[in-house]
């Protein structure tokens, strides 16, 4: 039925449905639905093992995980972040009156460019929030060096980077804390969910309290807190999907190779690459369109794909700095972000995951080629 189907970026992967349903029955029978149930605890243990990190704190989603991690780590004033990221990276700061200061990214890695950071540091700067964009790690040692020299806290938004490594070490144990998203669109999902990881026991305890209103005992609240708890049904989904992580990665890898073959030789079209020496989840198939060499603009290609029911995405167009409230507060931020501005005009994310077969990909690539080769 290729051609009569929609292909979406972000279609969820779903592991063993019977296992999930069995866990669901256990939840219903136990009458324990949230607030640190058995599946939530098991999920935290399994993530700790996988990532080799001492503490995992499960959250209701990645955005609340970022907000809690930022607050618990003591971020305030200004924090340096990329603009080439999902809006949650900036909003998690602004939501608590911390100003995100947008820094440009490296044109090859799409991650924070350490050489651009020091010019942005002011007496109000309290930290750096790096994003491992597309699952490719930030220049961690470059960022650590700057953070150490300026007394800044270093945190990572690892929403894209579950199962990825940096110089052989799994992402999850770097900086003060790292935050993963288990949203439906992520290759391992918990419907909605997030995980904050840290090797700092004191910080982990603080985050556990903050995710449960600051309760330290039945009738005692010692902190300002919020409700960041992961429900048992989400934990059951997360655990079930985590059990299929190897299969999901293998499918993503095969899909990536199929796209690479299918789009090979098109002038001005390239896929971002991943380091074969690192662990990688291959969950994003990212095309860059070089407008000088390709006969069609990025937007013309996306429009053509959409007309053929291939719902490709322009992540992270137009860049956080061009969205509210940031574009009103810093109308000329783009002048300091030439690489980000350029990337926002050239990137297309294509559908992958277990709902897309290699035959589907051959067809999607034929539509893509047809568009580029049209007179």
Q: Which residues bind to ligand T4K, rule: CB under 6 A? A: 8-12, 61-63, 85-86, 88-89, 131, 157, 159-160, 181, 183-185, 194, 311, 315
Query: At closest approach, how far in Å is the CB of 375 from ligand T4K?
Result: 30
Query: At closest approach, how far in Å is the CB of 299 from ligand T4K?
Result: 17
95 or 215: whose CB is closer to ligand T4K? 95
DSSP annotation of 205 reads H
Give CA–CA dist 365/287, Å, rounded. 12
Torsion of CA 238, 244, 246, 251, to 10 degrees: -110
Query: At closest approach, how far in Å is the CB of 138 from ligand T4K?
Result: 12
Query: At closest approach, how far in Å is the CB of 273 from ligand T4K?
Result: 20
Structure tokens at 183: 């949203």
Structure tokens at 331: 């109308």
Strand duo 194-198 + 55-59: pairing: antiparallel
Query: At closest approach, how far in Å is the CB of 131 from ligand T4K?
Result: 5
Helix, coil or strand: residue 304: helix
Q: In what order do the strands lie in the sheet with 99-103?
A: 55-59, 194-198, 177-181, 153-157, 125-131, 78-82, 99-103
Give CA–CA dist 136/250, Å, rounded. 17
Say how far residue 64 (Cα) sits from the centre of its chain. Answer: 14
Cβ proximity of 361 and 259 under 8 Å: yes
Element (H, E) at 288: strand 285-289
Q: At what angle do helices 38-51 and 232-242 cross, to 10 degrees?
A: 40
Helix, coil or strand: residue 14: coil
Closest residue to ligand T4K: CB criterion = 10
Helix, coil or strand: residue 94: helix
The CA-CA-CA angle for residues 169, 148, 194, to 5°, reads 50
Give me the residues paired with residue 127 across strands.
Answer: 79, 153
266 or 285: whose CB is closer to ligand T4K? 285
Dmax (CA) for the chain in angstroms is: 72
Query: At closest approach, how far in Å is the CB of 19 from ligand T4K?
Result: 20
67 or 266: whose CB is closer to ligand T4K? 67
DSSP annotation of 290 reads -
10 or 266: whose CB is closer to ligand T4K? 10
Query: At closest approach, how far in Å is the CB of 288 from ligand T4K?
Result: 17
Structure tokens at 209: 């309290």
Query: At closest approach, how far in Å is the CB of 203 from ligand T4K?
Result: 19
Query: At closest approach, how far in Å is the CB of 100 from ligand T4K?
Result: 12
8 or 32: whose CB is closer to ligand T4K? 8
């Amino acid at each position: 039925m290729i051609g009569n189907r929609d292909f979406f970026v972000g279609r969820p992967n779903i592991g063993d449905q019977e296992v999930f349903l069995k866990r669901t029955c256990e939840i219903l029978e136990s009458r324990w639905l949230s607030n640190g149930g058995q599946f939530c605890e098991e999920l935290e243990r399994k993530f700790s093992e996988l990532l080799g990190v001492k503490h995992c704190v499960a959250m209701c989603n990645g955005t609340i995980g970022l907000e809690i991690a930022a607050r618990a780590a003591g971020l305030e004033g200004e924090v340096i972040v990329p603009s080439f990221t999902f809006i949650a990276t900036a909003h998690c700061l602004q939501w608590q009156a911390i100003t995100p200061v947008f820094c440009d990214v490296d044109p090859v890695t799409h991650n924070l460019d350490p050489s651009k950071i020091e010019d942005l540091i002011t007496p109000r700067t309290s930290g750096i929030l790096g994003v491992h964009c597309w699952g490719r790690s930030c220049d961690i040692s470059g960022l650590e060096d700057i953070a150490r020299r300026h007394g800044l806290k270093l945190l990572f938004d690892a929403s894209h980077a579950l199962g990825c490594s940096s110089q052989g070490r799994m992402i999850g144990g770097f900086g003060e804390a790292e935050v993963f998203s288990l949203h439906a669109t992520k290759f391992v999902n918990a419907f909605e969910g997030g995980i904050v990881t840290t090797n700092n026991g004191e910080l982990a305890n603080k985050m556990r309290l903050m995710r449960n209103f600051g309760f330290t005992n039945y009738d005692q609240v010692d902190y300002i807190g919020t409700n960041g708890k992961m429900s048992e049904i989400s934990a059951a989904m997360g655990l079930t999907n985590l059990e299929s992580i190897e299969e999901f990665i293998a499918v993503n890898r095969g899909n990536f190779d199929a796209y690479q073959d299918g789009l090979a030789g098109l002038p001005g079209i390239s896929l971002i690459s991943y380091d074969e020496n690192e662990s990688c989840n291959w969950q994003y198939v990212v095309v860059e369109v070089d407008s000088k060499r390709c006969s069609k603009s990025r937007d013309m290609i996306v429009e053509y794909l959409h007309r053929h029911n291939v719902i490709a995405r322009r992540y992270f167009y137009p860049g956080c700095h061009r969205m509210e409230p940031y574009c009103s507060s810093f109308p000329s931020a783009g002048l300091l972000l030439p690489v980000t501005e350029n990337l926002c005009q050239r990137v297309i994310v294509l559908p992958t995951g277990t709902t897309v077969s290699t035959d589907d990909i051959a067809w999607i690539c034929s539509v893509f080629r047809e568009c580029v080769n049209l007179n």
